[in-house]
């Protein structure tokens, strides 16, 4: 099956004869190869040519022959890990050389924005400047896959990447790289002292179904009909979706009254005095525009002193959901899509005048929250070294409300089934890796039952594609987020966390509990070093045999009702340590036969926890950490938190 697929894919990649050997996109200088593995390399060369590979670790050359179209294939065994750099020399009469190649361990990091979150850029993790300055690890290599999508499965030659391929980890290369991947890799390097390669293939705001192939999704309940439709359209699907997208774009722009009015709303002379005021930053749904999907225009007048006239302005709008076009004094100065991206625009001095200047921002959002998501200190401008806040009142007006002209047609975006698997995962499947790091789930909150099937399907399919049935797959559970509440039995976030934990039933998986290091106001907590440490601890213990490394807290096992108390018992798997003893443990709730939940008092009793409440005479069920943003203090000396759990299986919002 694999060879048949690649033969067809390579034939479709182009028929031009090659002047010299061409390699798959993931093969570049500075790369890391997975130790003690078999490379399955599909390449191109001159037609009917003898193709050779001379590796730096073996005296014997590897030989093959290209076919009439110049396609060739070879399998190459890699040695054990070594910090010695190798050279790979391919030749069909003309040489292609890869330099500074290491052999070690490769991990693929994937998911949505919390895995994508960079050390600097829009991420700015805790102590990011110091972390970046210390990120001098030449034996750690970084490879970042570009955000692209495709309705068809791409092959190994059509993988798009950033950073000019593989790069040595340094203060220069790491700032825009996945923080979780970096911190994980640095922990492994410190413990193992062998080269570590990390592949960063993520896309913010994306659901699990975008990362699964159409073939596998066809087996998941709720997706069969859509997958059958896609299969029926076949090769015409891309053209049809492009046509639908263009029709939507045309409609979208021609109905925005902020653009179609005689005086577009980005012009300086617009009279916005009668526009309502919105306090920014913040999502517009909670500031007077509930449920709105469409376009909102924001305008703010600033005063520039004479001494600053003609000087460049650095404008920082922070994160905007989902897309913005920004104008200054009637001229466009920036445009960005994607809520996770920080808006940093330079306004040229020729647009900056003394006195009144107008900033206008056209914000588009077609689902969920819309508006300015940054914190107040991220919304500002700087001119002549002087920073001025833009937080506070902005005038606003609605340019487009999509509810006024029917449902938006289904178009292809990063949420569409399979499109990220096709473009960002499938091209990698013949490149051996050690395992996968995964952080995703926010975009599936509200559909937990479906996510349970999707997530486990994704893990099993990726193992099948890499032909590694035991491939380690380690993932982060969703962090605490939103308004803290003591009792929240209908929490969708808690339910999604539970479906993540159920994936531990699959062999050789591991979960890093994140419930204590989130942020109520930020869906992107900045505590990525700690998460990287926890995920690395799983790998060190389970994959690399470091049995002295603790990687988990005790795990809920069962309960027993004794009088008005509920006694909770825990499993202590290998790699765990006891939780800290405490006579006052918040985070527990308890219910009786009426199914009403109350805050409980809880205390440790050796290896157990005892839970009770004066309001519940006959207890029936207990939950711990069951809320969007619960208080969870049950943890070990090594700072590993006990994972949220419930003793009941009562139906909650279980879509």
**pLDDT tens string 222-279:** 998 888 877 877 767 777 777 776 776 677 778 899 998 899 999 999 999 999 999 9
Q: Quick one: which of 267, 256, 249, 296 has its CA closest to 409?
A: 249
Q: Within its chain, how far is the Cα of 386 from the centroid?
A: 35
What's the CATH class of domain 257-405?
Answer: mainly beta
Q: Whole-model pTM? A: 0.81
Higher pLDDT, 51 or 20: 51
Whether residue 139 is predicted with pLDDT greater than 60 in this model: the reply is yes
Share of the chain above pLDDT 70, in %: 94
Q: Quick one: which of 375, 376, 382 has its CA closest to 344?
A: 382
166 vs 28: CA distance, rounded Å: 6
Q: How far apart are the first and last CA of the chain?
A: 37
> Exposed, middle or buried by CB within 10 Å (0-12, 13-18, 19+), for 369?
middle
Higher pLDDT, 323 or 101: 101
Whether residue 212 is predicted with pLDDT greater than 60 in this model: the reply is yes
383 vs 314: CA distance, rounded Å: 6
Give yes or no for a contact between 298 and 280, defined as CB atoms under 8 angstroms apart. Answer: yes
Cβ atoms within 10 A of the Cβ of 611, count? 25
* 482: three-class secondary structure by DSSP: coil
Q: How confident is the model at residue 280 (pLDDT cuts 50, 70, 90)?
A: very high
pLDDT, tens digit, 9 for 90 and up, residues 434-468 = 999 999 999 999 999 999 999 999 999 999 999 99
**Contact residues for 515 (Cβ-Cβ < 8 A; gap 6+):** 477, 479, 480, 497, 625, 630, 632, 641, 643, 644
Give yes or no for a contact between 591 and 550, defined as CB atoms under 8 angstroms apart. Answer: no
Q: How confident is the model at residue 12 (pLDDT cuts 50, 70, 90)?
A: very low
pLDDT, tens digit, 9 for 90 and up, residues 328-379 = 999 999 998 777 677 989 999 999 999 999 999 999 987 767 899 888 888 9
Q: Quick one: which of 624, 654, 636, 602 has its CA closest to 450?
A: 654
In 223-299, which residue ranges form alpha helices assigned H by DSSP? 224-233, 237-254, 257-260
Give yes or no for a contact between 316 and 380, defined as CB atoms under 8 angstroms apart. Answer: yes
Token digits for 546? 């470091």
Give yes or no for a contact between 217 and 418, defined as CB atoms under 8 angstroms apart. Answer: yes
Cβ atoms within 10 A of the Cβ of 84, count? 12
384 vs 559: CA distance, rounded Å: 65
Give yes or no for a contact between 435 and 471, defined as CB atoms under 8 angstroms apart. Answer: yes
Q: Where exactly are the structural domains of the chain?
A: 2-219+417-476, 257-405, 555-646
* 417: three-class secondary structure by DSSP: coil
Q: How confident is the model at residue 403 (pLDDT cuts 50, 70, 90)?
A: confident
Measured N-to-C along each axis, helices 528-538 and 179-192 cross at an angle, to the nearest 10 degrees, of: 50
Give yes or no for a contact between 160 and 428, defined as CB atoms under 8 angstroms apart. Answer: no
What's the CATH class of domain 2-219+417-476?
Answer: alpha beta
């Amino acid at each position: 099956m694999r060879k048949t697929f690649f033969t067809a894919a390579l034939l479709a990649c182009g028929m031009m004869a090659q002047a010299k050997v061409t390699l798959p996109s993931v093969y570049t200088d500075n790369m890391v190869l997975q130790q003690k593995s078999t490379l399955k390399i599909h390449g191109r060369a001159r037609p009917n040519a003898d193709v050779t590979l001379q590796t730096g670790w073996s005296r014997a050359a590897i030989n093959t022959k290209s076919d009439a179209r110049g396609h060739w294939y070879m399998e190459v065994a890699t040695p054990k890990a070594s910090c010695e750099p190798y050279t790979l020399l391919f030749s069909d009469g003309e040489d292609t050389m890869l330099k500074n190649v290491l052999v070690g361990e490769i991990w693929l990091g994937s998911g949505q924005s919390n895995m994508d979150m960079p050390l600097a850029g829009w991420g700015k993790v805790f102590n990011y400047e110091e972390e970046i300055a210390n990120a001098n690890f030449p034996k750690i290599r970084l490879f970042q896959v570009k955000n692209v999508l495709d309705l068809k499965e791409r092959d190994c030659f059509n993988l798009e990447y950033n950073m000019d391929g593989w790069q040595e980890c340094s203060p220069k290369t790491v700032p825009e790289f996945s923080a979780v991947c970096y911190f994980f890799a640095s922990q492994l390097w410190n413990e193992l002292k062998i080269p570590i390669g990390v592949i960063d293939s993520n896309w913010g705001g994306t659901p699990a179904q975008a990362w699964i192939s159409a073939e596998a999704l066809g087996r998941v309940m709720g997706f069969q009909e859509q997958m059958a439709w896609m299969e029926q359209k076949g090769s015409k699907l891309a053209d049809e979706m492009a046509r639908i997208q263009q029709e939507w774009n045309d409609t979208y722009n021609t109905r925005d009254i902020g653009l179609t009015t005689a005086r577009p709303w980005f012009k300086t002379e617009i009279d916005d005095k009668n526009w309502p005021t919105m306090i920014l930053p913040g999502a517009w749904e909670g500031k007077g525009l509930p449920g709105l999907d469409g376009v909102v225009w924001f305008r703010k007048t600033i005063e520039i002193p004479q001494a600053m006239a003609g000087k460049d302005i650095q404008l920082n709008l922070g994160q905007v959901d989902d897309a913005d076009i920004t104008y200054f004094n009637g001229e466009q100065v920036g445009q960005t899509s994607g809520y996770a991206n920080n808006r940093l625009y330079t306004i040229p001095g020729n647009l900056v005048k003394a006195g009144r200047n107008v900033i206008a921002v056209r914000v588009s959002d077609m689902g969920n929250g819309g508006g300015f998501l940054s914190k107040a200190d991220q919304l500002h401008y700087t001119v002549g070294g002087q920073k001025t806040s833009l937080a506070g009142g902005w005038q606003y007006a609605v340019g487009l409300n999509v509810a006024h002209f029917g449902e938006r047609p289904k178009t292809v975006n990063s949420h569409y089934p399979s499109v990220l698997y096709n473009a960002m995962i499938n091209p990698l499947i013949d490149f051996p890796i050690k395992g996968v790091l995964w952080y995703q789930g926010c975009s599936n909150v509200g559909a937990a039952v479906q996510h349970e099937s999707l997530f486990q399907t994704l893990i099993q399919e990726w193992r099948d594609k890499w032909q590694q049935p035991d491939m380690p797959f380690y993932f982060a559970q969703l962090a605490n987020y939103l308004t803290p509440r003591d009792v929240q039995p209908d929490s969708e976030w808690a339910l999604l966390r539970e479906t993540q934990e159920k994936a531990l039933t699959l062999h050789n998986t591991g979960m890093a509990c994140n419930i204590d290091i989130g942020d109520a106001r930020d869906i992107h907590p900045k505590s990525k070093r700690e998460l990287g440490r926890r995920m690395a601890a799983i790998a060190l213990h389970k994959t690399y045999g470091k049995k002295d490394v603790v990687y988990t807290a005790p795990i809920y096992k069962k309960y027993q009702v004794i009088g008005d108390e509920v006694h909770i018992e825990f499993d202590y798997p290998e790699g765990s340590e006891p939780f800290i003893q405490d006579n006052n443990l918040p985070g527990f709730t308890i219910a009786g036969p009426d199914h009403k939940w109350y805050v409980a008092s809880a205390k440790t009793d050796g290896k157990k926890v005892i839970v009770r409440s004066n309001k519940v005479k006959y207890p029936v069920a207990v939950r711990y950490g069951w809320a969007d943003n619960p208080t969870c203090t049950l943890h070990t000396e090594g700072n590993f938190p006990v994972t949220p759990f419930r003793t009941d299986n009562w139906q909650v919002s279980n879509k």
